Chain A
């Protein structure tokens, strides 16, 4: 079955428009000395990056294979997005903060950088004190600081930057990198495989339940720098980990390309919970600037009884192209996708998930909540595929769209393929608007329109927000309000 539901309206709706037309609140630029790769993309760029990072031979080969494959590929055009042409010759593919020695204490860290963290409210100093959260903070491309590593190493947990993992755990990297998202997977994943700068690596050994929430903050910080993060999470048999990723980016005019790849491997009885709050700069009210976010996120439930759960709150980026997916290979494995995607002004989002059922008795749940405001376009695109051998499998999908104002678009494109008769697939979809009655009710109780919309939208997204780890949920609620209103929070 293949369906499509498109809602477009054109009448103005003043109050909501006023409220939703606010500027990006996290726009600032930090002046840190940066070292660039030569502008543009060629085999030399790839070699430069690999050399700069002092990588072993196998990595260089991997990158070159990816690059050569990428040259043969074409930009995907199937998404419901209007993407301005990207000139890959005009992009810096690698930027690293220049002072890249190992830091032993915060005193040695560039004060500008620390100030950036302060502005973000995530200073390492504070983070260190925040019990239970280990932070691997990434500014541009090189990991600057890793905390809590020692605590984690007691459990045999490896949590470090991808660069460090390549140096210190090459066997694990070799075994798993590209095993879920091969370098041939898609245009942006191939590009990432060729030029990825850094990212996070996480390995939870057999039977270990990671005692803390792992989190990484990403931040684009150098003008005209493509950001290519690479994350790999491996949960060995019976392991559990909750991983959080969140980001904000400085305001600026040039469009910035972001093409990350995240791979998750869950072995038998393992469970991985991956939570994201994405708040890249969305461009200004007239649609100028903003991040292009082309992300490939995929997990494989490799062993039986394994589970992968994606939760995402997408409020940023000018363009979002992102489908965190699960390959349910192991019998009885479980995949989950909880998503809130907000688009405002001229933002465009085409996001959703793929649930590929291969094992028997596999289960997947999809809860997607789209919120469109301004002149934005918000699409849900999801594939549920139940293969012939995946007997007695189940999927439940719920895709809701909420419209604020009448110049925005909400679109739902569910693809459902079922190849056996013992499985059950359910799909529900609703589209609603914030009603004038709801707004009036809230305002009559003393709330201004901004608070009212924040409250209503957070209520609408609650099912997803409650999936987030506690400290993240609070941040996400604020982000939802901020991205629609500006001052609330």
Chain B
């Protein structure tokens, strides 16, 4: 088991967002996390990545046999957890090359490897740019500064390719993308899929799952996973809408 989440509760400023998440992810699997706005999808991603604004109030997260919640943000990243951001932040004046080189070499240092020299690093960048079909000279620009929505998301996928994570969490990577950009992003993910890594793809829409075919689909509602299934569940959701889930839950009397 790569990731095992048990009864995870998390809150922000005293408001509980995650109300008992349980989820297992194995290597080689792609899990889609779906659900309406404000149900805790991004919170789940943030908590796994270690964002400090969220307080974990109960439950446990075991990653590679370790208590993930005890690791610092950067330790989680160095252990192979990657978060593709929904809203990647701008860092003026810092080129993507410089940014990535710092990241790659810090991770290498953690693993006891020598830092990559300039030449080797640039070669790696070229390889990965090709892999994710990054044609523009994005790498020379400041991190996310003045990028279009599509460029920002492609840049996230490019960074994922550079860092070769074991567990990649993509937080609504499809939002704001036109169909071509969506395809580029999805192709990148598909090329990076191996039997050794796993993906958690957070999305609103079934659309992305036409390109990234998930092994499992989970529906998150009011801070809990209320339904799990295979890719067919996504199609059913697309057809019936989230109201279907809402009504079902209200029927159980736990909504609100």
Contact = CB atoms under 8 A, between A and B. Distances in A.
B32 interface: no
B106 interface: yes
Nearest to B162: A445
B83 A444 contact: yes
A444 B52 CA distance: 12
B98 to A, nearest CB: 7
A443 B89 CA distance: 13
Interface stretch (B2-10, B73-81, B208-216, B239-247): B73-81
A448 B163 CA distance: 16
B85 A441 contact: yes
A459 interface: yes
Contact of B163 (A435, A437, A438, A445): A445
A441 B74 contact: no
A341 B35 CA distance: 48
Contact of A443 (B74, B82, B159): B74
Contacts of A437: 89
Contacts of A448: 72, 74, 106
B84 to A, nearest CB: 10
A437 B74 CA distance: 14
A446 B89 contact: no
Interface string B103-115: 1101100100000
Contacts of B102: 447, 451, 455
Interface residues of A, number: 23
A451 B78 CA distance: 14
Contacts, number: 75
B88 interface: yes
**Range of interface residues on B (Cβ < 8 Å):** 20 to 34
B98 A438 contact: no
Given A446-B110, A447-B102, A451-B106, A460 B89 contact: no
B106 A444 contact: no
A444 B91 contact: no
Given A446-B77, A446-B163, A455-B98, A441 B106 contact: no
A459 B93 contact: yes
B106 A459 contact: no
Given A440-B51, A444-B83, A446-B107, A456 B73 contact: no
Interface in B13-67: 49-51, 53
Contacts of B175: none
B106 A455 contact: no
A436 B46 CA distance: 13
Given A445-B103, A445-B159, A446-B163, A455 B78 contact: no
A440 B49 CA distance: 9
Contact of A459 (B51, B92, B159, B163): B92
Nearest to A439: B73
A459 B142 contact: yes
B93 A458 contact: yes
A463 interface: yes
A169 B93 CA distance: 46
B94 interface: yes
Contacts of B50: 443-444
A443 B91 CA distance: 13
B91 A455 contact: yes
Given A440-B73, A459-B142, A445 B99 contact: yes
A447 B89 contact: no
23 contacts: A435-B89, A438-B91, A440-B49, A440-B73, A441-B91, A442-B91, A443-B72, A444-B74, A444-B76, A444-B82, A444-B85, A445-B100, A446-B103, A446-B110, A447-B74, A448-B74, A455-B94, A456-B94, A459-B91, A459-B94, A462-B93, A462-B94, A463-B93
Q: 4 smallest A-B Cβ distances: which pairs?
A: A459-B93, A459-B94, A462-B93, A445-B103
Given A451-B106, A458-B93, 19 more contacts: A435-B89, A436-B53, A441-B91, A442-B99, A443-B72, A444-B50, A444-B73, A444-B77, A445-B99, A445-B103, A446-B106, A447-B74, A447-B102, A447-B103, A451-B102, A458-B94, A459-B93, A460-B93, A462-B94
